[in-house]
Structure formats: structure tokens, C-alpha cells
Structure 1
């Protein structure tokens, strides 16, 4: 019964996300609003430029409680660690302003980052400034920028967000590998599946 309920809830979240158009940044776009200041779980105030490293930047919109975020927890950590090992900076942004007084509060973010052993930035996207600039609508949703600050990939971590056992292509890692090899990214955009970012109002 519990398994059926979880499956039903995941289906509802996926359906909710599908009604929001995939209207993010166009491939080739420059890193937007890189100087906007955000509070990281460390207590530091940071911007996207602080997270960027010599080979680029991975920006991921996420949160603490979305079932799809939870199902992708290990995959999130693995790809972020992979990025860092390749000198690609990482910043995860929580833009759930509509849930900031509850499970996506700054205090809850700190607890979540500690529990997940994050070794990269996890910051508050106040007023959805960056989610709006990126056109991000879901959690998780990924944007990969190359060493020149140009968007080369937008979408999901892999081709099976709801079931890790059925993954056949690791979209984000493949995009990183191709970018690092100075090759065009084969699959530039995929559909992000997850909860809708909870904006104010």
C-alpha cells in the first residue's frame, strides 16, 4: 500500500511539472546575474562567480523534500563530486520561497546539507531571483556552463529520474565529459522531472 501511495504521489508531481513549459535559458547563453548575492548554508554570502571554477559551473535547483530530489540524492552527490574532481564548480540553489517558513527554511537547509555531506555551496535563492533569471521550474533541474561561462546543457541528471535501476544514459556527466574534451555536447537539453519550484504567491 505504501509503495502504491509513493508511486501515485510521484505521478502527481510529474504531472504537475509537465504543465510548466520548459522555458529555461537558451543553450549558448551566458551565465546570468552572476553577481547576485545569496546566503550559503555555511553562513557566507556568495554569488555564482564564487562557485565557478576553471572548467565551468554546475548550477542545480533543488530543495529538501521533493520526492524526486530524495530519489536523486545519491546521484546528486555523485555528479557534484565528479564535477568538483574535474574543476567544475558546483552550487545548489533552493528557490522554494513559498515554503521558506517550513521544510525549506535556512535552518532546514543547513541540516539537510549536513546530512547529505555536501562539500559545495547550497544557497538560498531569495525572491526566486536566479530561478526566474534561469527560467528554472523544477527540482532537481540542472544547468551546466563551460569554462567560458556559456550554457552547454540544461535538464535532468540522467534519463530515468524516477528509477535509478533504469538509467541508460547519464546526460549531465556525458555533457561534462564532452565539454572537458572540447567537443560539442551531443544531448544539450532534456526534460527535467520533479516538483514545481514553490514561488511566492
Structure 2
């Protein structure tokens, strides 16, 4: 190995080391289980600004959604999502559906269209937030629709991931599916640590608006 080649080899190792060292820091910049949930401020379908601090003391569930996504349709056409929303809100949990699709991308809706969808699907979220600029989506690093997050009454993120353990768009996959959300809430109520606090979300990729 010549001196020049050796120098290039060493430089490559140093560069690789710096890249690997930076990876954990980047990972920690996003939402982390056991840490305060990212703050958010978004308009709902009635034009009101909703933010995380107003729900202090209450458990909050965030559901990223896209009505055109077949994975989302599986849960809404079957009534699974609506049942989950109703059961959670009956327990005093705040359920916020979030649409981060920008204009021109699959799933984008105006406030009026979002209201119409909620009514036609007999959905039952506490509110529906519109995030066309992707600010909230980026803060939570929402990847797919659906993508679910649970925040406890202290504002701590306690769950992030899939709605269940069946990553399929087929309605048949609902048979025997384990609801990660129901499991997490039940464990919270029992004062137990959440056994599966992070899972791999599945569904349609969220295409956020480009940063200006």
C-alpha cells in the first residue's frame, strides 16, 4: 500500500466513523418513547388552533390518515377504526386524526371535504387536524397512513407505530389481529409498562410538502 493509498484509506475510515457517530444524534432529534412528545399547533376543520398543552392531564392519541390509502380504507370500511375511536374517547382519551397530505398529493382534503368524510364514514375522532405544510408530520416523523402515537397525561410519548400486527391492506387480515393501541391503553390503565411501545408502522407513505 503506497503512502497516498494509505492516507486515503485512513481518511475513509475517519469519515465513516464521523458518519456513524452522527446517526444516533439524528435519531434522537425525532420523537422518543419516554421523552416529552413534540409540541404541535395545527388548525382543525373548524379553523380553530389546537395544541398539545390544551390537553394536559389527558391521554392523547394521534392518528395519521389518508382516505385514499387502501390500508386506511381497510380499517374504515370495516368499522375497525371508528370502533377504536369510540372506545378510546369513551374512556376520556382525546383522539386527534391528522392529515399531512399537501395539495396535489394523495389524501389531501380541504376542511369541508374532511368534514364530509368524517360524516360519511361515521368516524368519531375528538377532532381532525389539517397539516398541509407537514409541520406536525415532520415533528413526529410520521411515515405512513395509518401511523399511531399515544401521549400520556404528562405529555410523554409512550407509544409510536402501527395500529395492529397485520401489515396488510386486506380486510381478511383483521381476523385475529392484535391491536397495539388497545394493548397499550390497557397496560397504561393497569399501571404497567407498555410491553410493545414501538412497532413498525405500515401503510401508504406520507409525502410531505417540501420545505421552503
Both structures adopt the same fold (TM-score exceeding 0.5): yes
1: distance between equivalents of 2:52 and 2:135? 12
* Contact 1:154-1:189 at 8 Å conserved across structures: yes
Alignment match of 1:110 (pick from 91, 115, 121): 115
Pairs aligned (count): 177
* Contact 1:55-1:180 at 8 Å conserved across structures: no
Provide the residue aligned with 2:181 in structure 1.
172
2: distance between equivalents of 1:88 and 1:102? 25
2: distance between equivalents of 1:98 and 1:196? 15
SS at match of 1:184: coil
Alignment match of 2:204 (pick from 181, 191, 195): 195
Of the two, which has the highest radius of gyration? Answer: 2
Superposition pairs of residues 1-40 of structure 1, within 5 angstroms = 25-34=31-40, 36=41, 38-40=42-44
SS at match of 1:97: coil
Structure 1's consecutive aligned runs of 4 or more residues displaced over 4 angstroms after TM superposition are: 100-103
Q: Quick check: 1:83 aligned with 2:88?
A: yes
Q: Quick check: 1:46 aligned with 2:50?
A: yes
Provide the residue aligned with 1:150 in structure 2.
156
* Contact 1:41-1:113 at 8 Å conserved across structures: no
SS at match of 2:139: helix
Provide the residue aligned with 1:8 in structure 2.
none
Q: Could you list the runs of 5+ residues in structure 1 that have no partner in the other structure?
A: 1-20
Distance 1:197-1:32 versus aligned 2 partners, 3 A rule: same
Q: 1:178: Cα distance to partner?
A: 0.5
Structure with the larger RCO, 1 or 2 (CA within 8 Å, 6+ apart): 1
1: distance between equivalents of 2:107 and 2:128? 17
Provide the residue aligned with 2:16 in structure 1.
none
1: distance between equivalents of 2:94 and 2:151? 9
Structure 1 length-normalised TM: 0.78
Deviations 1:66-116 (CA, angstroms, capped at 9, x unpaired):
111111112221211121111111101100014369853333212111112
Q: 1:25: Cα distance to partner?
A: 1.9
Give the CA RMSD over aligned residues. 2.4
* Contact 2:67-2:107 at 8 Å conserved across structures: no
